[in-house]
Structure 1
Amino acid sequence: MRHLVFPAVVFASLATSALAAPCGNTSAGFNAWKKDFARTAKQAGVKSPGLKALAQSRYATRTIAADRNQKSFKYSLDKFMKVRGSTTIVAQGRKRKARDANFYAALERKYGVPAGVLIAIHGMETAFGSFMGDSQIVSAIVTLSYDCRRSDFFVPHAIGALKLVDQGAITPATLGAKHGELGHTQFLPGNALQYGQDGNGDGRIDFYNQADALASTAYYLRKKGWRPGKGYQPGEPNFRVIKEWNAATVYQKAIAIMGAQIDR
């Protein structure tokens, strides 16, 4: 996947059970695997809407192609930041912080995460919501659960996606990134299910709503060990927490640099 978020919902027994069905590296066994996986999903508490979404999911060839071709995380830090548009993210991020100062201050009071980090993640992931993906989330995440390369990692997120369908938070047609990430900051479904927050107070959690997505991101980081008031540069207490959002060192350093520049 484009960013390797460590799964917050780790259903070890589910992963083991799912792997009883043969994984595959082509579409050949996908439909047979889905039928077997449906039993695992049902045991995990997935209801009729989620099970229907599973049955309707299709093998996502573009997701597999993207999974095999993640070049940007191999770049040097300088090249990575240029490719990902860090200068633009910082410039726009400062404007967004100034425009919505009360919103970001409220998030920091509640969760302890400064605006710069949240804004840098938002800019890095979706260019501030301008592109949140063009792949069907359920099909993408189910395909990755079937694929042999990292099936055990993605199974909990497939269960999460199906439960989000049950809740009405997404539909089988909802679009996200190639690896099934969703919304403004690209949560994996299992993490969305566990860490979702109602940031705008309307009584529902919608990751395609900016306030909800950023509140959820702040909550996720806090639950992963963010220490309010402490630094987040390399060697400082909160830098390791950025790793919980993305396992690529180049990404972590980029967020720390951009966050500090936005927070100046």
Structure 2
Amino acid sequence: MKASVSAILFSLFAATASAAPCSNTSAGFDAWKADFAKQAQKAGVGKRGLQALQSTKYSQSTINADRNQKSFKLSFEKFMQIRGADTIVAQARRKKAKNPNFYGSLEKQYGVPAGILLAIHGMETGFGGFMGDSSVVSSITTLAFDCRRSEFFIPHAIGALKLVDQGSITIATKGAKHGELGHTQFLPGNALRYGVDGNGDGVVDFYNITDAMASTANFLRQKGWRPGVGYQQGQPNFAVIQEWNAAGVYQKAIANMAARIDG
């Protein structure tokens, strides 16, 4: 998940932006981590989170991916083709038909229709088929250290360490190149704030479909989703889709696919 971090999270962790100097290469990463650990501890990160931070490694593959995000510059039609929108819609319809009570209960509780949740799930991970192969904690820590958008990613790095503390992830947890995790690819700071224990087992596990879907619905509702109101471009709930991902072509794709899934 790639939505902007909440104002509350940012204000809570804004002090961490004064860490040791960032860098656009791996140079200085270990020194930065040592300084960042002190600030993370002040922000409430505990022993397990600090141990995870110590174990992180600079991720060059994450930096490479961050410098090469071309798909969001495509036309809407090309983006839909490359992302396999027709396949996502067809699979989503089958999933909705197979488990209507599950998606119905989520809509009843959060007001978010199945089409939106399934479109996001399909777009992000192919319905859980591939949730990433990069260390979540190392990836997000690397981006916090990288100068390009360090202020944006520092709160998410703190969030990842706190997720380790609470048992939602470990240093070994794999996610996307930018540290997104689970079925719908939450950024760690958002996962920490909006995560829901949907199956009631005492752990918010974003790699569990029930927790992930409930957390995604909760995120959208907390961001202002209005039950029963339209979500196409120009309609009130489209602004909430914009909170999930900042790319205009992605936002239009989710709205389009969701309407076809629920239609």
TM-score scaled by structure 2? 0.97
2:191 — aligned with what?
192
**Structure 2 alignment gaps of length 5 or more:** none
Q: CA RMSD in A?
A: 1.1
Using a 3 Å threshold, how does the CA distance of structure 1 residues 91 and 126 change in structure 2: closer, same or farther?
same
Distance 2:106 2:52 in 1: 34
2:52 — aligned with what?
53
1:7 — aligned with what?
5
1:10 counterpart SS class: helix
1:119 counterpart SS class: helix
1:85 — aligned with what?
84
2:65 — aligned with what?
66
Report the count of equivalent residues: 262
Residue 205 (structure 1) shift: 1.2
1:169 — aligned with what?
168
| CA deviation map 1:62-113 (0-9, x unaligned) | 0000000000000000000111110000000000000010000000000000
Between stretches 160-169 and 15-24, larger displacement belongs to: 15-24
Residue 211 (structure 1) shift: 0.8
Q: Is the 8 A contact 1:18 1:40 kept in 2?
A: no
2:245 — aligned with what?
246
TM-score scaled by structure 1? 0.97
Q: Is the 8 A contact 2:19 2:39 kept in 1?
A: no
Q: Is the 8 A contact 1:180 1:188 kept in 2?
A: yes
| CA deviation map 1:108-133 (0-9, x unaligned) | 00000000000000000000000000
Using a 3 Å threshold, how does the CA distance of structure 1 residues 17 and 215 change in structure 2: closer, same or farther?
closer
| CA deviation map 1:115-171 (0-9, x unaligned) | 000000000000000000000000000000000000000011100100111111111
2:132 — aligned with what?
133
Using a 3 Å threshold, how does the CA distance of structure 1 residues 143 and 114 change in structure 2: closer, same or farther?
same
Q: How is 1:151-162 mapped onto 2 (pairs within 5 angstroms)?
A: 151-162=150-161
Distance 1:122 1:179 in 2: 17
Residue 13 (structure 1) shift: 6.0
In the alignment, structure 1 residue 183 sits paired with structure 2 residue 182:
yes
Distance 1:214 1:20 in 2: 35
Distance 1:63 1:15 in 2: 23
Q: Is the 8 A contact 1:230 1:238 kept in 2?
A: yes
1:98 — aligned with what?
97
Moved over 4 A (4+): none
Q: Is the 8 A contact 1:50 1:162 kept in 2?
A: yes
Distance 1:14 1:117 in 2: 31
2:9 counterpart SS class: coil
Q: Is the 8 A contact 1:132 1:184 kept in 2?
A: yes
One-letter amino acid of the counterpart of residue 261, structure 1: R
| CA deviation map 1:43-63 (0-9, x unaligned) | 001011111111110000000
Q: Is the 8 A contact 1:19 1:152 kept in 2?
A: no
1:121 — aligned with what?
120
Distance 2:212 2:16 in 1: 32
Q: Is the 8 A contact 1:18 1:37 kept in 2?
A: no
In the alignment, structure 1 residue 145 sits paired with structure 2 residue 144:
yes
